[in-house]
Structure 1
């Protein structure tokens, strides 16, 4: 008699025991038989979607004489029902309702990962995986709760890509000359045709690396990382990340996200001081400093000379100092912001 075997789900990944439809030759308990696959996967029309899938059946000896087959059922888990829809059956090379379905995982290695190609809107549905081991070893359908069909692998098909995730140093403002790390990630439901990520308004010092990464639920995403040193030229710059998805349609599909970079510049509210600040003698070197709460900048040392000595006159010195002060103040006004 059939009976459901269950285990709790965590996150958006399903780790469940299977609903045994019939077992011949071997007995398996709920403690040693289970499947692991994501609860939902989102596919883009005209592309493919990969369903990562693994299973475990302990106390089972590998035998070259045993043949293992995988079956995907659409909408209903009842394999023998007259209204059941078998989308894929590896034992009979059956593919229904899809242009192509390939099991890329090796069932002998407990891997039932499957790729559905050329996804269309009418492919949105619940899907059940069935495992058959012949001759007369095990036949089982993944269905933790027959009364609740929501606990299955669901393929959601959309015409538009999912939103991108753009993360930065979690600072509303960044200091000039500090290192900024940005990361942009895009879902890759079809790892064979991953999205291509591009950046706009890239800072001059930027370094970019991109890689395909597997997430905890075994689905994959493309991550692009950009590292650069903040410059005053980057202040209020809109940096955009765009992911372009290739697909078997007349045009590609893309998603974009943008962030504004705000750079804290130094100096602001420039003040001119002479160091040393006490009375100075002729020939003493002085330094002009522009300082604010974020830091300071100084000019090169200038030597004071008197009229009649080698070098510029006092009036010339005053003019130079005044000119430097004016330039610094204009620079502060033109390039510095709070």
Structure 2
């Protein structure tokens, strides 16, 4: 859809990785997701934080003229292979992407970055590098100095279609629930670009339903949209297929929709109501 801002689709499929190093008396580390999966024609937010043992002291260094973030693709060797640089905030370099934005404040140890207009050829490992100029600090947050280990950095995997939203229910509506039981259905979809999260919509909403939808930050600093629907089960809801649909706007191509469905099964409380509703094939007893 033209004119729309880009939305991200990202799934953290590995645990958050802590990378630690030591050089020139400094101990430094970065916390990054190990792997993210991104939707083509959208964007990817990579949550990123770092720590340097003497960071506060370095910020107070009178010779410090600036602090800059750099992202490298495939290779971590910054000095010998400048072709691997996809982003360098000190030189306003963006290479191989239409736009890259470092939204984190580096002085607050936040290196979170958004990569826009993701294409299939962007599937690769990426390395974060920090420079404090002139000659105050410079390091790429790799596993070991002088070696590359793609299993220890963030890797972007690009796909063409998003995963369906996840449905969580209480009680377990895969089994019959008693009429009058309070049922809670939660639909969630990944939303790593918080300004433009995917929209969630429900079909076959029970009459007593109350729906609350909100964006939430998860412990790994990525985001998801959660839509919670609460209602009291009625015999009129028996065999109703309730669906949750997630709609992902894309930059150029059409919106992408995916959905998940659950069938509600309701038990009647009394025989009289069962006999009446049985004729209409509405309720179990």
- Alpha-carbon distance in 2 for matches of 1:35, 1:77: 14
Is 1:106 aligned to residue 105 of structure 2?
yes
Is 1:28 aligned to residue 29 of structure 2?
no
Q: Tell me the equivalent position of 2:203.
A: 200
Q: Map 1:93-242 to 2 at 5 A.
A: 93-145=92-144, 146-171=147-172, 172-242=175-245
- Alpha-carbon distance in 2 for matches of 1:157, 1:104: 21
Task: Report SS of the residue matched to 1:233.
Answer: helix
RMSD value, Cα: 2.0
Q: Tell me the equivalent position of 1:290.
A: none
Moved over 6 A (4+): none
Is 1:63 aligned to residue 60 of structure 2?
yes
Which segments of 5 or more consecutive residues in structure 1 lack a partner in the other structure? 1-10, 271-327
CA distance 1:150–1:84, shift in 2 (3 Å): farther
Q: Tell me the equivalent position of 1:53.
A: 48
Larger radius of gyration: 1
What is the number of equivalent residue pairs in this alignment? Answer: 263
Q: Deviations over 1:279-312 (max 9, x none)?
A: xxxxxxxxxxxxxxxxxxxxxxxxxxxxxxxxxx
Q: Which has the higher contact order (CA 8 A, sep 6+)?
A: 2
CA distance 1:329–1:141, shift in 2 (3 Å): closer
The TM-score, its normalising length taken from structure 2, stands at 0.86
Q: Tell me the equivalent position of 2:265.
A: 262
- Alpha-carbon distance in 2 for matches of 1:259, 1:330: 26
The TM-score, its normalising length taken from structure 1, stands at 0.73
Q: 1:38–1:153: 8 Å Cα contact kept in structure 2?
A: yes
Q: Deviations over 1:7-49 (max 9, x none)?
A: xxxx5111111475xx5xxx213xxx21111111111111111
Q: Deviations over 1:139-188 (max 9, x none)?
A: 11011143532211011111101231101014222111111000000011
Task: Report SS of the residue matched to 2:205.
Answer: coil
Is 1:244 aligned to residue 247 of structure 2?
yes
Cα offset, 1:59, TM superposition: 2.9
Which segments of 5 or more consecutive residues in structure 2 lack a partner in the other structure? 1-13
